[in-house]
Structure 1
Amino acid sequence: MAIYDTFKTRTAQALPKLTPTEIKRIQRFGTLVAFRDGQCLFDAGLTSFGMYVVMQGAIRISRHDGLGNTSVIAEHGPGEFAGEISQLSGAPTLVNGHAVGDVEALVLTTESLRALLIAEAELGERIVRAFILRRVEQIDNKDGGLVLVATPGHARMHSLQGWLSSNGLPHRVLDPRSDEQARALCERYQPETQDWPLAVCPNGDVKKNPSIVDLGRCLGTLPELSPDQVWDVIVVGAGPAGLATAVYAASEGLTVLVLETRAYGGQAAASARIENYLGFPTGISGGALAGRAFVQSQKFGVKMAIPAPAGRLLCGAYPLQVEMCGSLTRLQARSVVLSCGARYRRPSLANLKQFEGKGVYYWASPLEAGLCATEEVILVGGGNSAGQAAVYLAGHAAKVHILIRKDSLASTMSSYLIDRIAATPNIALHTESEIVALEGCAEEGLQQVRVRHHRSGGEADYDICRVFLFIGADPNTGWLSDCGVQVDDKGFILTGYDLPGAAQAERAALETSIPGVFAIGDVRANSTKRVAAAVGEGAAVVSQIHGFLASQR
């Protein structure tokens, strides 16, 4: 086996070698297939498969993008296997595979690969770990996957890159002013002002000014969904609560579809470090926790659709129906779990939308942190998410100014975060303060922020180009009106004992006013707004789903 320079830094766990005994155990899940020297086994962006286990010869794995760039990653020899995270979901592979010499390989479909992972727990653990490490290598190398073409600072680039990064999708960005391939692409397609940016899919398709739906289609995160299939459970929202439901329900044999608007992990995935989640004494980032849960869901056969916002819930007949936003497609389910969380709250500033993605942000990921290196930034909010973001940004920015309306953080933030903020020299807390104006231009983005101090009534201008808003969220429940799901005066969904009248006695603890429709996590009235609580509700609701489905039978 030849391992090339780009892969030398990875551990042997990324390229494990199976023993003859292990291969024998795998044989009942696969089919032995022969390939001739040089034959293509799979194409980036086109081919979906489960796993190839090499019995004879070798499979050369190469990065490949839609511009035709190719570089060798590794060669899998006898006893090794080809595959990565894409194979668990049935999405097209992001690499090329060619036979080196005459090759014999055990070929596993996506379904048989999942069956192997469940039946052979110890062996499955090694395979999944290798898949994860290979995807990490793809992301770190940025030499394959999707290609975005635009000049630096283009208004739409931040949202597209943010979506790709949040979903763990390899990509790179080319500047047509300095890159020959990008320049040649522009000369061929002659993009107008409204056509930027360009996106080159792994299969070579070029999209002009793509939406994230376009990117989801070309990368396989948004599969075709049949209106004829009846799912046991449709989960709306892939935050911690929704992911927990998906994992537990699928592991117990239910068919599960998850619909997510933006990225798995929800708002929790934007947390730089969660330190009070049980079992992680040194803390874990929200992105890492969400990524592990996502892989776990794929292992158990959960169908995930991203981006796939739900537009309407229809409960006039059974099975229940979820109508997709922007389309007439109606998906059928025996039960529906609402874990749709909340929408980011926006302050009432006249030109706020103009600067979203160009100076105003609602989360603090490595992408945003890289933009504010050596700069001073403003962060608005006094909750735990705001505290975690402030501490994280302080490691990148020259100074972080925290603005809150109250006179202290004591009533809204955990004490360990308050202590950490106080001990961080480049964080400044401004109490009883708020932003009253944003200044800048469409081309350059945000350039100045005006802040008012309520007690003194004075205002001050800050030459700051990055503002992070963590001022809470409103429940994402407006799309439920056609179904009649009861909500409280703030829009949060009522369940179980919180329901009025006779409905209270007739419903399970997490069931809404509509039979078979459940609500969990932040969108549920009186829920505890913590990741651990959301995961607990996601697990608990599965037993209630079983009870409901049994009553229907």
Structure 2
Amino acid sequence: MSQTTNPIFGARRDQAFPTLAEADIDHMRRFGEASFYAAGEHIVTAGAVAPGLIVVLSGRVDITQDGGLGRRETIVTHGPGSFVGELAQLSARPSLVNAQAAEPVEAFVIPSQRLRDLMVQEANLGERIMRALILRRVGLLESATSGPVIIGPVDNSDVLRLQGFLARSGQPHRVLDSDSDPCAKTLVERFDVDPHHLPIVLCPNGRLLLNPGEKDLARCIGLLRPIDADKLYDVAIVGAGPAGLAAAVYAASEGLSTIVLDCRAFGGQAGASSRIENYLGFPTGISGMALMARAYNQAQKFGVEMVIPDEAKLLSAATDGARYTLDVGDGETVRTRTVVIASGARYRRLDVANLAQFEGTCVHYWASPIEARLCQSQEVALVGAGNSAGQAAVYLASHVRKVTLLARGGSLDASMSRYLVERIRAQPNIEVLTGTEVEALDGDEGSLATVRWRNRASGAETTRPIRHLFLFIGADPNTDWLANCNVALDAKGFVRTGSDLGSGHGAMETSRSGVFAIGDVRAGSVKRVAAAVGEGAQVVAALHAYLAQDGSQAVTPERIGRM
């Protein structure tokens, strides 16, 4: 059994650390290989890829995490019938924790590929294991004592950038304030870092990064791995929002080799929603991040290869057996038979001259716990009148003194769901100003001091001492990368598909055969999470039909039934 003193797991400890019955272990043996570890042997080291899921038959294994300055904290001790691992083992990513044999251990190890086979072939057992892996990751996220360590001023724009990337990527991490935390000051002195070069990031593998980009950080912690230039995929999906992840889950679960690329993090704009309450099957609501994290884990369960963050730059016809190639960052290439464009949309920026001066520190396009902490008990302004704006306003109202919601239109009812309008009206600290637009931002050295807005009807202007501004004013299609790819776009930059191109094109097929578009990036699509998920599922039937017609894939009776 597993023993833990970590209070994070609480009432769900038995689900996070189940003890397997003999019958369960017998079912799992065929997926693994026997292994033995001597007392004191380091089985897994944080920052290195673990051999797989380790099922303990005899002996004890201590699981620890680094507590800083050489300290190690015990999370749990696994005994017979327990298994060592968390979500990192599902996709052979570097471990977030250490595992050491406390005494001689007899076990068997299930490699990542075989672990995914187990999930599919042993459904009931796989469900229990998957739940445990997810809960263990949640525990690590909540404890915030494992993973990379970001060191710098907590309100620094680059600290916030790196912290936001790791949070959106579902990666445990710590932030140490270099201005006040003794441990942070010790590390800065130890590595002889000039304060002007902060932030620094200390990765679990021991590497020190100096104010890295998201891609450099992702490579250091093992999130981003080199692309196999020799592999030919059935489908390459550009974009890991609701549409892209849905397409990935359905494609991979039906046997198509699938790769997903996204230049930011999984989840897209849906991941920014503090709570989605009109998505089918979640009567109490669910945060966009939680919903998208489930989809991301589900895709990995079926063996989808995730390349995040990495940017698709050019779509070209191939001449070496593949139908298409995708040029991505750092000179890498993806070879694929089909392409699904699910690159979604990018946040629309306010037309104010000095906006860039405050972005990243005081102007936000995301309302998460990170931003809520920054503006705790303050007055904030929020621009927007759609559902995302409404969700953000309600969420922020529980953390700040006052939210002033600014909307260009005459009413919220035309663009926001009724339940959100009613909830906003019920919040005593949300003031709604319709027919209003931001005129100017003022502040010094990237620190916002005031926001001025104007009533469009009366011309009256108001200036308020506001240090944080949230923008939810819609989005433009993320299709700049398609400029030289011969994919037809409409006047607003959305991808044209189906009947919009004339006869002979499938509902989601673009102007290039074998290239499809789904979700927010597709012209005429319904901009809702559920609609994006539906299109992600629907496009897989079109992929099967195209591959069968192209002769790249055998048409089995099972696949015909899905078309």
Q: Structure 2, unaligned stretches of length 5 or more?
A: 552-563
Give how far 1:188 is off.
3.4
RMSD: 1.4
Kindly tell me: are residues 8 and 485 of structure 1, through their superposed partners in 2, closer, same or farther at Cα, counting changes over 3 Å? closer
- For 1:65 and 1:290, locate their aligned partners in 2 and report how far apart those are by CA, in whole Å: 29
Match of 1:491 among 487, 493, 514: 493
Question: What's the CA shift string for 1:59-115, capped at 9, x where partnerless?
Answer: 110012685331100011000001101111210110000012110011010011111
Question: What's the CA shift string for 1:378-404, capped at 9, x where partnerless?
Answer: 110111111111111111111111111
SS of residue paired to 1:104: strand
- For 1:36 and 1:51, locate their aligned partners in 2 and report how far apart those are by CA, in whole Å: 18
For 1:324, the aligned partner's letter is V
Corresponding residue of 1:413 = 416
Residues 4, 74 of structure 1: 8 Å contact kept: yes
SS of residue paired to 1:392: helix
Kindly tell me: are residues 480 and 495 of structure 1, through their superposed partners in 2, closer, same or farther at Cα, counting changes over 3 Å? same
For 2:524, the aligned partner's letter is N
SS of residue paired to 2:157: coil
Question: What's the CA shift string for 1:467-502, capped at 9, x where partnerless?
Answer: 100000110111112221001110000011111xxx
Q: How does 1:364-403 map to 2 (within 5 A)?
A: 364-403=367-406
Corresponding residue of 2:561 = none
Question: What's the CA shift string for 1:496-521, capped at 9, x where partnerless?
Answer: 1111xxxx332211110001110000
For 2:227, the aligned partner's letter is L
Kindly tell me: are residues 513 and 194 of structure 1, through their superposed partners in 2, closer, same or farther at Cα, counting changes over 3 Å? farther
Give how far 1:303 is off.
0.8
Residues 67, 146 of structure 2: 8 Å contact kept: yes
- For 2:4 and 2:189, locate their aligned partners in 1 and report how far apart those are by CA, in whole Å: 37
Corresponding residue of 1:321 = 325
For 2:350, the aligned partner's letter is P
- TM-score, length basis structure 1: 0.96
> Does the alignment pair 1:123 with 2:125?
yes
Match of 1:513 among 511, 514, 521: 511
For 2:517, the aligned partner's letter is A
Give how far 1:50 is off.
2.2
SS of residue paired to 2:10: coil
Give how far 1:424 is off.
1.4
Residues 231, 334 of structure 1: 8 Å contact kept: yes
> Does the alignment pair 1:201 with 2:203?
yes
> Does the alignment pair 1:221 with 2:219?
no
Give how far 1:146 is off.
0.7
Corresponding residue of 1:551 = 549
Identity of aligned residues (%): 50
Give how far 1:363 is off.
1.3
For 2:40, the aligned partner's letter is G
For 2:101, the aligned partner's letter is A
Kindly tell me: are residues 182 and 404 of structure 1, through their superposed partners in 2, closer, same or farther at Cα, counting changes over 3 Å? same
- For 2:519 and 2:5, locate their aligned partners in 1 and report how far apart those are by CA, in whole Å: 45
- For 2:165 and 2:71, locate their aligned partners in 1 and report how far apart those are by CA, in whole Å: 23
> Does the alignment pair 1:146 with 2:144?
no
**Length, aligned pairs only:** 547
Q: How does 1:69-468 map to 2 (within 5 A)?
A: 69-192=71-194, 195-315=197-317, 317=319, 318-325=322-329, 327-442=330-445, 445-468=447-470
Corresponding residue of 1:3 = 4
Question: What's the CA shift string for 1:213-251, capped at 9, x where partnerless?
Answer: 111112221111122211111111100000000000000
Residues 230, 319 of structure 1: 8 Å contact kept: no
Kindly tell me: are residues 141 and 232 of structure 1, through their superposed partners in 2, closer, same or farther at Cα, counting changes over 3 Å? same
Residues 142, 170 of structure 1: 8 Å contact kept: yes
SS of residue paired to 2:243: helix
- For 1:220 and 1:91, locate their aligned partners in 2 and report how far apart those are by CA, in whole Å: 6
Kindly tell me: are residues 193 and 181 of structure 1, through their superposed partners in 2, closer, same or farther at Cα, counting changes over 3 Å? closer
Kindly tell me: are residues 178 and 467 of structure 1, through their superposed partners in 2, closer, same or farther at Cα, counting changes over 3 Å? closer
Kindly tell me: are residues 131 and 27 of structure 1, through their superposed partners in 2, closer, same or farther at Cα, counting changes over 3 Å? same
Q: Structure 1, unaligned stretches of length 5 or more?
A: none
- For 2:412 and 2:146, locate their aligned partners in 1 and report how far apart those are by CA, in whole Å: 45
SS of residue paired to 1:437: strand
Give how far 1:8 is off.
5.8
Give how far 1:311 is off.
1.3
Residues 234, 337 of structure 1: 8 Å contact kept: yes
Kindly tell me: are residues 65 and 538 of structure 1, through their superposed partners in 2, closer, same or farther at Cα, counting changes over 3 Å? farther
Corresponding residue of 1:534 = 532
Kindly tell me: are residues 65 and 551 of structure 1, through their superposed partners in 2, closer, same or farther at Cα, counting changes over 3 Å? farther
- Structure 1 window deviating more from structure 2 (390-399 vs 465-474): it is 390-399
Give how far 1:151 is off.
2.1
- For 1:491 and 1:423, locate their aligned partners in 2 and report how far apart those are by CA, in whole Å: 38
For 1:346, the aligned partner's letter is R
Corresponding residue of 2:558 = none
- For 2:372 and 2:190, locate their aligned partners in 1 and report how far apart those are by CA, in whole Å: 35
Corresponding residue of 2:556 = none
